[in-house]
Structure 1
Amino acid sequence: MEGLSQFWTQSDAIGRTVAGLLLAMSISAWVVIVWKAWVLQRARRDIARAVPAFWSADSVEAGATRLGALDREQVLSPLLTAAAARQGSGTLETHGALASQLTRRLRDALHGGLAHLQFGQVLLASIGSTAPFIGLFGTVWGIYHALVSISAAGSITIEKVAGPVGEALIMTAAGLAVAIPAVLAYNLFGKWIGACEAELEGFAHDLREMALDTARH
């Protein structure tokens, strides 16, 4: 902390801007990490409970009631709504076969649910990929600023160089400290989202087949 405070007092506007940017990126990353961990855990538990509950119901209406009660993140209910929807005549959508209409509606509903689950992934990826370079830039600028100040003082010794350079290296460490949690969270959340996507695609496929069987009979 002492080295960080000395770096802050000795740095110029650019160095402080880099430090502030890293702090903002860190706060943003942790807010997204905590929020997405909560959302994805809820979605995974809800999918695991809601899909079997729907198929174990004795009617579509009863299954829809169970689904609505368990689907807190609203990633399954839109699929059921899309499968049960009936479009009015006279539109381009109704000119196609029923199978094509179902596929289109279920695809749109599926994309909406996945967009909700994937929200924040771009931010985590951006922070994870840019924070180390921003920290490195802060280190380079800090070293340059320190050397200019020492040179202006008229005497350069290893003791006078080592202190400012060591303090400037804090920015590289700060960049890594911001990037590593973001990268780890991005990879973990990507795995969870992929598992949810597979379950949602399977549920959408089963709803499509059920709707087609109902229409044939």
Structure 2
Amino acid sequence: MNLAQFFWQGDALTRSVALLLLAMSVGSWVVILWKSWLLHRASGDVARCVAAFWQSTNVEEASLKIKAFDRGALVLPMVEAIKIEPDDTLACVGNRAQQLTRVLRNALHGALAKLQHGQVLLATVGATAPFVGLLGTVWGIYHALIGIANAGQVTIDKISGPVGESLIMTAAGLMVAIPAVLAFNVLGRAVTRIEAELEGFARDLRELGNAGLDTIAVKR
């Protein structure tokens, strides 16, 4: 029996479990491929943006340079955030250090949210896919027991099909969960590394902003 025959010969619950596992697998692989590309690009962009910032003579020049490198908009919002303009809103209450901490924290949280996007899906798939497969396993065993009860005796033809369905569902659940768990761990380490770089840069920006952006310029 091939997979197509297994799918069409199953009942509504068996088909639902199979389709759910398929959707979870497709969704997790889309996230894996997309985040792998995104994090690879972000790692290089952040390094280039930080280098461009410190090689600039002022913040305006740095912003122009960073726009060319920051394709994921991870660094530029933090650089723009330190250009605080006083106004009458509560956002400007407090001294400059407090204002810088607030705006940089908000910009940093926005960048981290972009990096973390998709991790929840991978964690959810990795945690739930085995149990979804287990549901199909239990249902297959149930069909095997029903077949034995109806036949009044144990025959291989009555239990082979349902037990085969059970084994397939168990394997399918593991095949969906394992890549998601591995990707969650590997991509999570990449996210953590980029987060550390951004947090360090944010601390440097806060110190630079406290020194007074209007008076800072590199003499050539």
Correspondence for 1:187: 185
Alignment partner of 1:181: what SS?
A: helix
Once the 2 structures are TM-superposed, how far is the Cα of residue 95 of structure 1 from its aligned partner? 2.4
Indicate the larger mover: 189-198 or 140-149.
140-149
Cα offset for 1:193? 0.8
Which one of 104, 109, 121 corresponds to residue 111 of structure 1? 109
Which amino acid in structure 2 is aligned with residue 177 of structure 1? M
Aligned to 1:97: 95
Which residue in the other structure is 1:84 paired with?
83
Specify the alignment match of 1:48 in structure 2: 47
Distance 1:48 1:95 in 2: 33
Aligned pairs for 1:1-217 (under 5 A) are: 2-88=1-87, 90-214=88-212
The TM-score, its normalising length taken from structure 2, stands at 0.91
| Residues 11 and 145 in structure 1, CA contact (< 8 A), matched pair in contact too | no
**Structure 1 residues 166-200: Cα deviation after superposition (integer angstroms, max 9, x where no partner):** 23210010000000111111111110111111111
Moved over 4 A (4+): none
Unaligned 5+ residue runs, structure 2? 216-220
SS in 1 for 2:212: helix
Task: Please state how far the C-alpha of 1:150 moved relative to its aligned partner.
Answer: 4.2
Structure 1 gap ranges (5+)? none
Q: Decide which moves more: 138-147 or 169-178.
A: 138-147
Identity %: 56
* Offset at residue 11 of structure 1 (A): 2.0
Assess if the C-alpha contact under 8 Å between 1:50 and 1:70 holds in 2. Answer: yes
Q: Distance in 1 between matches of 2:90 and 2:4?
A: 66
Alpha-carbon distance between aligned partners in 2 of 1:95 and 1:56, rounded to the nearest angstrom = 32
Residue 73 of structure 2: SS of its match in structure 1? coil
Amino acid at match of 2:109: H
Per the normalisation by structure 1, the TM-score is: 0.92
Q: Secondary structure at the match of 2:82?
A: helix
TM-superposed CA distance for 1:6, in Å, is 4.1
Q: Give the counterpart letter for 1:39 in structure 2.
A: L
Kept in 2: contact 1:4–1:170 (CA 8 A): no
For residue 158 of structure 1, report the CA deviation from its aligned partner: 3.6
Give the distance between the partners of 1:136 and 1:34, measured in 2 at CA.
27
Count of paired positions: 215
C-alpha contact (below 8 Å) 1:11/1:142 kept by paired residues? no
Q: CA RMSD in A?
A: 1.7
